[in-house]
Chains A and B, each alone.
Chain A
């Protein structure tokens, strides 16, 4: 059911001629309700007017699918016209469409500031975080689809389980055998070393990289850029020590590890946190080679 700009409702609100108010408080409340209803009507009218005027409206074409709901089992695109405001992001536009036109429009979102990683989507043919993608930077109509190469759960929501499984396959937690003696004593870390791992620790698990990767699309067991980046974050952290680094390199050198990467840079291009994923993968390959030579 394609969603149109809603017609302004002509009916007056039901509060007008209700039972006589019993007290001053009731009168005041009735009056307030009247005013609120007027404000609401006025707002809706303004919204409809704005949406109708072409230049200030943005056209969204949004992928819809629900395995259970009749009429949505066959994937389709719905069109929404959303009044444009300065600074509007794709997420803002989707929320407006949902709250104003169709409350069943479904997408993940939470923080609205590019740190929770919930709202990676395929926008005009590229993996983007909806909350940090400005509508004004996009060609219209704006086409919004779920992340490719993932199973669609509903509308823009994809099943993230496979992504999480890959993340967890690289032993994604700090391990060392060399803690300082005192309980209140921190491990020392050089500023340079912290700087070296900094970008890799910024990953928000949005899944954009995995979705963009041709190799991951063809090899379901490939660890993928995000998981390898997670391994990089620990392998390069001097606090874990040399022994642990060997173990890290063994994990990423497995059959579906770093050697699958064909350096197409698509993951690096789509990463919303600007993590140099391909470089990290390349560096791990070099480390692995150096490491293997050492044991010859």
Chain B
């Protein structure tokens, strides 16, 4: 068994920042990741990092824009922390050598992004995430932080008190992909989940193949509620054939969207009369699909994003990477022709319920980055707000886990006095199916001393792997693609009740099928068949929770559009959706959103761009 003060799961932007912060606070830190750190999907982020750096800008304006963008479902204390601390974190990255794009005077450049009242998005060409990821990994190397790369974390080691709020996390159990060895990792001070996105729940996504939401699913089964899972961002500009992302930076620099008739539809069809292409992402995605659905799409599928008028020099200076992506993955030359784009799954606003220090309801368990929900993005994330979230909340979680005193949290976790049970009846059975994958369920350790809790988790993981490798059964790939297909068909930009219910049925069927899943590759060496099979279980749990949230939330807010409920209902719905696994019988409940900030209350206003 390995032993460290703090164990960070995942080595993308949030994980790297958390590890550095925990080590600076004096902890012995280890990172455990199924990928080598530089392979993490933070590297694919293109556009930039929002930070109120200049005198004419302020964190207050950034917070206002973010609350508005969130459609008033962000929690103000978390949003304000993001906006207050982003500037110092961005400058820290610069001091660590990150090659930001520069102005003539040598200062860091900033550009306009959707939903922002000031051009405050700092960037490094159209490869900001790549530069950020490598810069932070360099710092991890410099500090000699231990990295267990290509170790897949299978489960958390958590005690089994009835009330999740009384449980403690003592570590994780991980599978060494290289050797097939299963090992416990005892974390004396805390486990930080930083496992990133869950885009593989859908089949048209900008996310990597590795983005299967492992951390969210593990925390969920251990008893941590999942928050606001129904809020999925569909990015308006992804390449139709692969889902590869074309940065919002293209529109930030002046790129224009056209329909088949050559109309600049954002204005000409009145979707966003002020901001046009730079309206919030949810607004632009719905506009594009409306154009396609009303017969004005190109090949009935996509629209055109044109940046030719920006000129070669500007494109090469600020958007060069976009030229390569459009050429390599869609065969389009952005200098001489418009690029085909359509909406694709991009980001999960929801995730593991945390407070503004990254703490979950389980003692010793933290989450930061896309897998977490603090909540800074509410119902819709603004472009350029994901990368600052990684560094601000990665740092906070790292420090807190290492034992630094950080004061009282204002955002609550778990069921405090103002929780509210949901009275929504799902027509379909949800949750655990009998006899499926028993070892994967719940925290479940009977023992309470740390060593035995971790030991028990290791034994259960070993049992599960042995079972999957030895039995005969179905291949996971078919189940995974059935989930992705139904989610993309029915839980997309436009959502309606009947089809959401149908999806829950499809997912039930997939769960039934998963009961017979087996791994046909018998090898202990680099068995990706096994890893993918374990991931598919996570995808199933997340897809179901996401669909449950989408059904229950009978309103239209931010990225969540419902055919039957065409307006935002502030009377009833200024609250977060939470889903507790509840030992296999998922339970839906609510808690109010926190709109009171440090100096002001963010009054919900109508959201037009």
Contacts and interface: CB of A to CB of B under 8 A. Distances in A.
Given A109-B209, A174-B97, A188 B525 contact: no
Contact of B95 (A28, A187, A190): A187
Interface stretch (B62-70, B389-397, B447-455, B515-523): B515-523
A201 B428 CA distance: 51
Contacts of B325: 113
A184 B106 contact: no
A183 B521 contact: no
Contacts of A104: 520-521, 523, 527, 529
Contacts of B245: 113
B241 interface: yes
B583 interface: no
B242 A184 contact: no
Interface size class of B (residues with CB under 8 A): 35 or more
A84 B509 CA distance: 31
B138 interface: yes
B45 to A, nearest CB: 9
A234 B99 CA distance: 11
B279 interface: no
Contacts of A108: 39
Contacts of B105: 188
B95 A179 contact: yes
B104 A112 contact: no
B109 to A, nearest CB: 9
Interface string A14-37: 000000000001001100110010
B134 interface: yes
Nearest to B481: A99
Interface stretch (A53-61, A65-73, A245-253, A278-286): A65-73
A157 to B, nearest CB: 5
Contacts of B522: 69
A113 B477 contact: no
B88 A87 contact: no
A25 B504 CA distance: 12
Nearest to A164: B36
Contacts of A29: 505, 508-509
Contact of B44 (A109, A115, A154, A190): A115
Contact of A194 (B101, B130, B242, B331): B101
B115 to A, nearest CB: 25
Contact of B40 (A87, A116, A154, A197): A116
Taking chain A's interface residues, is the majority helix, strand, or loop, or is none over half, making it mixed? Answer: loop
B39 A188 contact: no
B436 interface: no
Nearest to A160: B36
B138 A36 contact: no
A116 B529 CA distance: 20
A4 B478 CA distance: 19
A114 B328 contact: yes
Nearest to B532: A103
B506 A87 contact: no
Contact of A113 (B53, B99, B104, B242): B242
A190 B99 CA distance: 11
Contacts of B102: 189-191, 194
B38 A204 contact: yes
A111 interface: yes
Contacts of B43: 111, 115-116, 204
Contacts of A66: 523, 525
A5 to B, nearest CB: 17
A173 B142 contact: yes
B88 A174 contact: no
A154 B525 contact: yes
Interface string B75-95: 000000000000110010011
A132 B328 contact: yes
Considering residues A100, A115, A183, which has the most beta carbons from chain B within 10 angstroms of its beta carbon?
Answer: A115
Contacts of B39: 108, 110-111, 116-118
A87 B241 contact: yes
A176 B106 CA distance: 17
B494 to A, nearest CB: 22
Contact of B523 (A36, A68, A194): A68
Interface in B20-58: 35-36, 38-41, 43-44, 53
A32 B529 contact: no
Interface string A159-189: 0100010001001111000010001111111
A132 B134 CA distance: 21
Interface of A: 25, 28-29, 32-33, 36, 40, 66-69, 87, 98-100, 103-104, 106-118, 132, 153-155, 157, 160, 164, 168, 171-174, 179, 183-191, 194, 197-198, 201-202, 204-205, 234, 237, 239-240
Given A103-B477, A111-B43, 6 more contacts: A104-B523, A106-B528, A118-B39, A132-B329, A172-B141, A184-B91
9 contacts: A25-B428, A36-B506, A87-B330, A104-B523, A107-B528, A113-B329, A115-B44, A154-B525, A188-B105
